[in-house]
Amino acid sequence: MSRSEELFARALEVIPGGVNSPVRAFRSVGGTPRFIASANGSHIVDEDGKTYLDFIGSWGPMILGHNHEGVRRKVLEACMDGLSFGAPTEREVIMAELICSMVPGMEMVRMVNSGTEAVMSALRAARGYTGRDKIIKFAGNYHGHSDSILIKAGSGVMEGGVPDSSGVTRGATADTLSAVYNDLSSVEEILDQYPEQIAAIIVEPVAANMGVVPPAEGFLQGLRDLCTKHGVVLIFDEVITGFRLAAGGAQEYFGIQADLVTFGKIIGGGMPVGAYGGKKEIMSVISPLGPVYQAGTLSGNPIAMAAGIEMLTILKENPSIYTGIRETGEYLFNGIQAILDETGAPCTMNHVSSLGNIFFTPDPVVDYTSAQKSDTAAFGRYFHYMLDNGVHLGPSQFEAMFVSAAHTREDIDQTLELIRKYFTK
């Protein structure tokens, strides 16, 4: 028995499904999750001492690669000052100033502890600001696991084949309306059906939790225009795209400004952290400035802030990192596309900059319905082939591959070689 198998067996006894987040359980691909002992740069090492080239990157935040020396040093230094105070610190101010200086339209920002919390709070702010109850989300977009947003969610919910989570009351989701990603007419229909009742439209500017689905030409601008016209708060959920597509996230990358933006793990370099913010006028509804309550003892935690400040400073001061990860991503994803073309594999490659994935369907994937056509069993076989050959991918058809600044051309060539072998066998 391998050490991962041994740990998984123990975990199954005391943790639901043996994991603290469902996708990690390998349910959709079968087999035993690798228990990770350490990580550095583009590689991780499991408890059995086996090294893998990693394309999960803690689901996005490891833009600089795992265990970046500078970030680690700042965390260790911060630990020497104390772990949590439940009182304001200078680091929180520096972090907020940094985020406001990098993200378009960010005038005020509130730190929280995860992307889930950021989204939950941003929706509350939008409702408080507009005095309206309903929100629009897109099928297959994932915005964390708070009750009101668990409708046709992507990621682990989609993988389990359940459109909605059990345990969420009808009341909690009664004001959540689901539209079709990349289809503006589906949004217009809802806006017409509920005039002056929609508080917010929340969207993943690049959907990355039903696999990677880029926004169609004009889709994000169309949402911007509709929100402006109907007095609706446009929320970009940048938990995955923020500080990844560009220093200013998807807003900068696509040149579209949202009213509120949500961030997650990415702004803490992997530490448990999140944030939401945007226009001062909207953020002024947040307590204690306004009537919308939101709080948290660990919000703005000094260790998380230390990691985040260092990582964001590096990203801000080194724009070449973005050129680098985009070029590496394109080298990988265009390389995969070429292999699919050569071999005639019935797959579709979607990618945006350093995010991408292979869908095991020959048809274009533009939304939830088309993503669901994927042959998840075929993905599972491919996943295990890659894992057996030392490449660690997200264990689900509906998760992205994340390329970091630590991935080298050799890493990518090695990956492409494996993929070529797989599809020519």
Just list the catalytic residues: 142, 237, 265
Q: Indicate whether 156 belongs to the interface with ligand HOZ (CB under 6 A).
A: yes
Q: Does 55 bind ligand HOZ (CB under 6 A)?
A: no
Q: Which is nearer to ligand HOZ, 89 or 354 (CB)?
A: 354
Give 130 or 209: the residue with its C-beta nearer to ligand HOZ: 209
Q: Does 219 bind ligand HOZ (CB under 6 A)?
A: no
Binder of ligand HOZ out of 9, 16, 21, 162 (CB under 6 A): 21
Smallest gap, in angstroms, from Cβ of residue 156 to ligand HOZ? 5
Residue from 8, 26, 55, 59 that binds ligand HOZ (CB under 6 A)?
59
Residue 257 binds ligand HOZ (CB under 6 A): no
Q: Is 24 in the site for ligand HOZ (CB under 6 A)?
A: yes
Q: State the nearest-atom distance from the C-beta of 400 to ligand HOZ, in Å.
A: 8
Contact status: 23 vs ligand HOZ (CB under 6 A) = yes
**Smaller CB distance to ligand HOZ: residue 292 or 304?**
304
328 is a site residue for ligand HOZ (CB under 6 A): no
Instruction: Answer yes or no whether residue 155 interacts with ligand HOZ by CB under 6 A.
Output: yes
Q: Binder to ligand HOZ among 237, 310, 399, 411 (CB under 6 A)?
A: 399
Q: Cα–Cα distance between 28 and 323 in angstroms, integer?
A: 34
353 is a contact residue toward ligand HOZ (CB under 6 A):
no
Strands of the sheet containing 51-54, edge to edge, are: 36-40, 43-46, 51-54, 391-392
Binding mask 175-214 for ligand HOZ (x = CB under 6 A): ----------------------------------x-----
**Are the C-beta atoms of 295 and 112 separated by less than 8 Å?**
no
**What is the C-alpha separation between 416 and 336, in angstroms, rounded?**
7
Q: Which residues bind ligand HOZ (CB under 6 A)?
A: 21, 23-24, 59, 155-156, 209, 399
